[in-house]
A and B are shown apart, each in its own frame.
Chain A
Amino acid sequence: MSKDKLKIAFYWAASCGGCEIAVLDINEKILDVIQVADIVFWPVAMDIKYKDVENMPDKYIDVCFFNGGIRNSEQEHMAKLLRQKSKTLIAYGACAQLGGVPGLANIANRKEIFEKVYVTTFSTANPDKTEPKTEVRVKEGEVDIPKFYDTVRTLDQVVDVDYYVPGCPPAVERTLFAVDAIAKNELPPKGSVLAPLKSVCDECPRKKENKKISKIYRTYEKAPEPERCLLEQGIICMGPATRGGCGARCLNADMPCTGCGGPCPNSPEQGAAMISALASILGLEDEKEKYTEEDVEKLMSQVKDPIGTFYMYALAASILRRKVMKK
């Protein structure tokens, strides 16, 4: 292992594996990475054990890319261990940055999730209501599995994070941008999101005509005109409230942005920013000077499932964080 080469690590927590694929999708460019860096820990790909990481000196790893949120005790342990061993820790992808789709589980707690998964799902045959336990005595001896928490946390709710790479999964350009900045030692100030300072709207080729809308359509209810802004056609698109850097890929497929890039630089509460954007465009067909509460209620009741719509990826990172836990 060369001394002047950077030492890079990759790790996953509560995620789907898509972030691993996103790293591999840089294809032949991985060879450039290997020119400037040694990969010292990548359990998906390399034969290095947790114990080997524990044996590393503190700050031995130059840069650690960490994807996935924190859902159980093992993930929390690894987050803390890798923070201790890494000079720079990067939250890679929507789950590490914002909790991601699995963070929607914060509408429930451990008990409710176990009840659903292990007892009441249609195909489960479990009359004794058996549930997995952290420590179990089987016929032959003891076995254990990690503790499942009530709440999904973002990486920076567990340890100090230096940078964020947004996206679900991050676009190839975002990964390359991060790698390039690291290789050239040109990383921005600590705490930065490694993406352009613009929204998805700014990257979207669709035409905006500053039109108001009075009716909201679900994606299956209306085939949109291909060249025009989806929001101005009544389809909720998270583009105005979502950080760009993805090339507005979903819009190219005639589907709205669902917000995987996380909040824009100056409006950290993504859902609230989108509600505000929607409020500025949504109105009654007959314009009024002043709307009654009833008018507003009528308009906003068209928005179904506000949590899933405005916080598909960022519930765990939002000021809402989770549903109130009853003691």
Chain B
Amino acid sequence: MKKILIDPITRLEGHGKIAIFLNDAGEVENAYLQIPELRGFERFCIGRKAEDMPLLTSRICGVCPVAHHFAGTKALDAAFNVEPPSAAKKLRELMYCGYFIYDHTLHFYYLGGPDFVVGPDAPPEKRNIIGVIEKAGLEVGKEVIKHRAYGQRITELIGGKATHPVCGLPGGMSKALSEENRQEIEMMAASSVEFAKFTLKLFHDIVLGNSKYVDLIKSDAYTLKTYYMGLVDENNKVNFYDGKVRVVNPNGNEFLKFGPKDYLSQVAEHVEEWTYVKFPYLKKVGWKGFVDGVDSGIYRVGPLGRLNASDGMATPLAQAEYEVMYKTLGGKPVHSTLAFHWARLIELLYAAEHALELSKDPEITSKEVRNKPGEPGEGVGIVEAARGTLIHHYILDADALVKDVNLIVATVNNCPAINMSIRNAAKGLIHGDKVDQGILNMVEMAFRAYDPCFGCATHFAVGQMPLTIEIYNHEKKLLKTVQR
């Protein structure tokens, strides 16, 4: 049996690699996405002070620190049995929208977007942010840089620091928002709404206006029929910061709806020997290996997961676009992995609209941002990170030190599906020794759609992933190397 190694694809603090095995007939037998990195937060957080958890866990990811910071803060709210004042919740949510504006902008323009805007078969040296600017114009490039910085600035104004904020406390926030800072945020949010509208128009013109792309989105190689998961509000609308976890089955029907403290009866994680990540699945369906369909407990999270698991968006412009997407792609749920990109832009618009609403809320500058915590105990906090459902679970002792901790991180939820997407793309494209440039990018596109965290910190400066495929025969003799 032959082995094809893609190493490095990119990183999860180090690098990820893909091993593809061919059978004697030269067809793809299987593919393994290996994550070579582990840091062990679940172990070294034991014994730490409860209030340090939002700071410590933020260091799991420097690209989405806000998600970990507030998953941790919400777990502490629950563990200390305290409800934050209404203004504190709104402040957290406003900061959270800033984080989504920054993160989703980054992904579309620097990482995922180039495949569509410039074209999946464009020369690799053009398939990046520079290529996007060439196609869309320099003015657009300036707007992209400006609005990425706006998202970071909103987080900094509320959280103290943009990367690794410090504001979250059990029962509230460390500081109220000043009127001066509120005005700046309102200006940035209003500008972001226009920017998100523009970005969607760009997507419609360049991507949806080209039937070749639409066919690609709908193609079998990029389709997985899985369950979907996301947080929803009381009206089953998408919510990033709070609500219940809703799961729909591959037919789009509600399968589960549960609050944070019940997550352990619904989700479990499977361990494999060949990678450092675990593979989550729905307990009620069970782990059936790397297969899709209604009998496999594999589910997907992130932008498409959230939209599929919801009944719509809570702001008007985003809701209108939500309806267009499902109408165009043939109703709910959408199983096309490449539709993650469209869903991401709908969420960008929602984040901007909602940030604008919150920034104008008279309560947002209230000085009442802290309530007194109760006695320490056990708590679970769930938020939607940009890349999906994020769960923090802490047990505290009488001194409010951490006795035990469990974390299910956003990208990890998608890891079983990412593995399958890569395998499917490989199976569809690799036949014998015929491996070329196109295959590299098609395989890349299969997992880039998820904006996986082992890539999230990575490509946005140039938008290019270093990829090497090496084909070995069964004696480990190198037959062929394809490099980009």
Q: Name the CB-closest residue of B to A315.
A: B44
State whether the Cβ of A107 lies closer than 8 Å to any Cβ in chain B. yes
8 Å CB contact of A27 from B145, B175, B466 = B145
Q: CB-CB < 8 A to A22: which residues of B?
A: 62, 163
State whether the Cβ of B400 lies closer than 8 Å to any Cβ in chain A. yes
Cβ of A105 and Cβ of B278 under 8 Å apart?
no
Q: Which of B43, B169, B468 has the most CB of A within 10 A?
A: B43
* One of B46-54, B236-244, B321-329 at the interface: B46-54
Q: How many residues of B contact A (CB 8 A)?
A: 99
Cβ of B269 and Cβ of A124 under 8 Å apart?
yes
State whether the Cβ of B358 lies closer than 8 Å to any Cβ in chain A. no
Report Cα–Cα, A169/B458, bound state, in Å. Answer: 16
Q: Which of A19, A139, A250 has the most CB of B within 10 A?
A: A250
State whether the Cβ of A296 lies closer than 8 Å to any Cβ in chain B. no
Cβ of B273 and Cβ of A133 under 8 Å apart?
yes
Give chain B interface residues in 46-105, CB to chain A under 8 Å. Answer: 46-52, 55-56, 59-63, 65, 76, 80
Cβ of A113 and Cβ of B62 under 8 Å apart?
no
* One of B26-34, B309-317, B330-338, B424-432 at the interface: B26-34
Q: 1/0 contact trace for A115-156 toward B, CB 8 Å? A: 011100111111000111100101111110110100000000
Q: How far is the CB of A175 from chain B (nearest CB, A)?
A: 12
Give chain B interface residues in 378-422, CB to chain A under 8 Å. Answer: 393, 399-401, 404, 406-408
Q: CB-CB < 8 A to B270: which residues of A?
A: 125-126
State whether the Cβ of A200 lies closer than 8 Å to any Cβ in chain B. no
Report Cα–Cα, A218/B80, bound state, in Å. Answer: 14
Cβ of A124 and Cβ of B49 under 8 Å apart?
no
Cβ of B42 and Cβ of A121 under 8 Å apart?
yes
* One of A7-15, A81-89, A271-279 at the interface: A7-15
Q: CB-CB < 8 A to A139: which residues of B?
A: 30
Report Cα–Cα, A131/B171, bound state, in Å. Answer: 38
Cβ of A104 and Cβ of B44 under 8 Å apart?
yes
Cβ of A305 and Cβ of B401 under 8 Å apart?
yes
8 Å CB contact of B11 from A44, A140, A309 = A44
Q: How far is the CB of B3 from chain A (nearest CB, A)?
A: 5
8 Å CB contact of A17 from B13, B48, B461 = B13
Q: CB-CB < 8 A to A27: which residues of B?
A: 145, 149
Report Cα–Cα, A100/B164, bound state, in Å. Answer: 13
Interface footprint category on A: 35 or more
Q: Name the CB-closest residue of B to A218.
A: B51
Report Cα–Cα, A49/B481, bound state, in Å. Answer: 13
Cβ of B276 and Cβ of A15 under 8 Å apart?
no
Q: Which of A16, A22, A138 has the most CB of B within 10 A?
A: A16
Q: Name the CB-closest residue of B to A128.
A: B271
State whether the Cβ of A97 lies closer than 8 Å to any Cβ in chain B. no
Cβ of A218 and Cβ of B400 under 8 Å apart?
yes
State whether the Cβ of A255 lies closer than 8 Å to any Cβ in chain B. yes
Q: How far is the CB of A121 from chain B (nearest CB, A)?
A: 5
Report Cα–Cα, A74/B15, bound state, in Å. Answer: 9
Q: How far is the CB of B317 from chain A (nearest CB, A)?
A: 28
Cβ of A123 and Cβ of B267 under 8 Å apart?
yes
Q: CB-CB < 8 A to A72: which residues of B?
A: 14, 36-38
Cβ of B406 and Cβ of A121 under 8 Å apart?
yes
Report Cα–Cα, A157/B418, bound state, in Å. Answer: 37
Cβ of B36 and Cβ of A255 under 8 Å apart?
no
Q: CB-CB < 8 A to B299: which residues of A?
A: none
* One of B154-162, B249-257, B343-351 at the interface: B154-162
State whether the Cβ of A203 lies closer than 8 Å to any Cβ in chain B. no
Q: CB-CB < 8 A to B124: which residues of A?
A: 47
Q: CB-CB < 8 A to A24: which residues of B?
A: 460-461
Q: How far is the CB of A82 from chain B (nearest CB, A)?
A: 14
Q: Which of B47, B175, B466, B484 has the most CB of A within 10 A?
A: B466
Cβ of A108 and Cβ of B36 under 8 Å apart?
no
Cβ of A12 and Cβ of B11 under 8 Å apart?
yes
Q: CB-CB < 8 A to A21: which residues of B?
A: 62-63, 163, 457
Q: Name the CB-closest residue of B to A117.
A: B42
State whether the Cβ of A318 lies closer than 8 Å to any Cβ in chain B. no
State whether the Cβ of B462 lies closer than 8 Å to any Cβ in chain A. yes
Cβ of A304 and Cβ of B267 under 8 Å apart?
no
| Contacts A71-B37, A220-B373 known; 6 new A-B pairs at CB < 8 A | A16-B59, A16-B62, A21-B163, A132-B271, A140-B3, A253-B161
List 24 A-B pairs, Cβ < 8 Å. Answer: A13-B13, A15-B62, A17-B62, A20-B63, A20-B457, A25-B152, A25-B163, A43-B10, A47-B462, A49-B468, A101-B56, A104-B44, A113-B38, A117-B40, A132-B273, A132-B275, A138-B30, A140-B1, A140-B21, A145-B276, A218-B49, A249-B161, A255-B167, A255-B174
Q: Give me the interface of B with A, judged by CB distance under 8 Å.
A: 1, 3, 8, 10-11, 13-15, 19, 21, 29-30, 32, 34-40, 42-44, 46-52, 55-56, 59-63, 65, 76, 80, 124, 145, 149, 152, 159-167, 169-171, 174-175, 263-264, 267-276, 278, 280, 283, 287, 370, 373, 393, 399-401, 404, 406-408, 456-462, 464-468, 474, 483-484
The 6 nearest A-B residue pairs measured at CB? A18-B62, A253-B160, A17-B457, A45-B461, A140-B21, A113-B40
Q: Give me the interface of A with B, judged by CB distance under 8 Å.
A: 12-22, 24-25, 27-28, 30, 42-50, 68, 71-72, 74-75, 100-102, 104-105, 107-108, 112-113, 116-118, 121-126, 130-133, 136, 138-143, 145-146, 148, 168-169, 218-221, 223, 249-250, 252-255, 258, 304-305, 307-309, 312
